[in-house]
Structure 1
């Protein structure tokens, strides 16, 4: 694994199923949801930055935070582009702000199983989790072109990029994301998996 990988937490979604509340800042077990993600990610990367589109000053109290280059909530690909553009390292690892129990070996396994690909993403054996991914900065130009063409589909871009799926069988709970207030309320520490 390279000595340094930048960790990027994607906090820029509209969170329509959360009533428009900024999902990363919603309280969970006494602290904002994104902080749980950061604590799981921190030991796996050299440093952390955030991609966000609102409440920037609040996020910046904890980590360097950057707004999307593409405005208008262009989806996770816009956040990934922002992260790559602001990464000080060749490789950047991305995780969404709503997966508080992400695997503590996520980055190591993405790196080890990526083969020669410039993009690798997590798959739990049942479904893909493309927002948990590892990309090289060489993907900035093709990603910019993809977005400029009006495309927004993450998996479509990954297919074009020759992305490598990395399988985490028996880890479905680790990829559980929180989309609604009810899911946040009912999630408990017992759901936590390594």
Structure 2
């Protein structure tokens, strides 16, 4: 296995949620920490990509993770900018990405996804239950040139990146996982059930 690191993307504005989702909790554990814990068994180190206003807060709360801000010239261009930022920070061959708002994600799911990582592909992502999850998967650093090209031209759509790369789509036929594992929390209504657990 080539060297792999983890990236938790926590730089969004969380406008619909009303506050930074990374610091919401499920069963007394912060959302971002759930993602970090899911990654740790399979990666050499974990980066948290954050908004400038939140960097200090993250740094106070973590011990082993590296907290970084999006490259300034691409700030505000979404997950692709976060992925590019981490690739600029490391020489690792693979970046396994998770979002900060998926509080049911499990290390077992990450491990099974990692088992499908193959040098023959540039990207390995989940398409469980008919839904593409571009932020649950691994990206080879070969994709960096395309990401930079897209960001330079104002195209920050993850799907556009897939058009340029060799992608391995992993779904429920490849390994079983409950649908809830891939559930995102976008607003307070969706969070209400989790907060009540």
RMSD: 2.1
Residue of structure 1 in register with 2:9 after alignment: 10
Secondary structure at 1:55's aligned position in 2?
helix
What is the CA–CA distance in structure 1 between the aligned matches of 2:130 and 2:55, rounded to whole Å? Answer: 35
State which of 83, 88, 100 in structure 2 corresponds to 1:85.
88
Q: Is the 8 A contact 1:8 1:94 kept in 2?
A: yes
State which of 144, 147, 152 in structure 2 corresponds to 1:148.
152
What is the CA–CA distance in structure 2 between the aligned matches of 1:171 and 1:87, rounded to whole Å? Answer: 33
**Unaligned 5+ runs, structure 1:** none
1:134 lines up with 2:138 in the alignment: yes
1:100 lines up with 2:103 in the alignment: yes
What is the CA–CA distance in structure 2 between the aligned matches of 1:158 and 1:15, rounded to whole Å? Answer: 25
**Unaligned 5+ runs, structure 2:** none
Structure 1, residues 69-112: CA drift from partner, whole Å, max 9, x if none? 14441111111111222234211100000112224233443343
State which of 162, 165, 184 in structure 1 corresponds to 2:169.
165
What is the CA–CA distance in structure 2 between the aligned matches of 1:188 and 1:163, rounded to whole Å? Answer: 36
Q: Is the 8 A contact 1:51 1:66 kept in 2?
A: yes
- Flag the 1:40–1:111 CA change in 2: closer, same or farther, 3 A: closer
Structure 1, residues 124-144: CA drift from partner, whole Å, max 9, x if none? 131110111101112212110
What TM-score do you get using the length of structure 2 for normalisation? Answer: 0.85
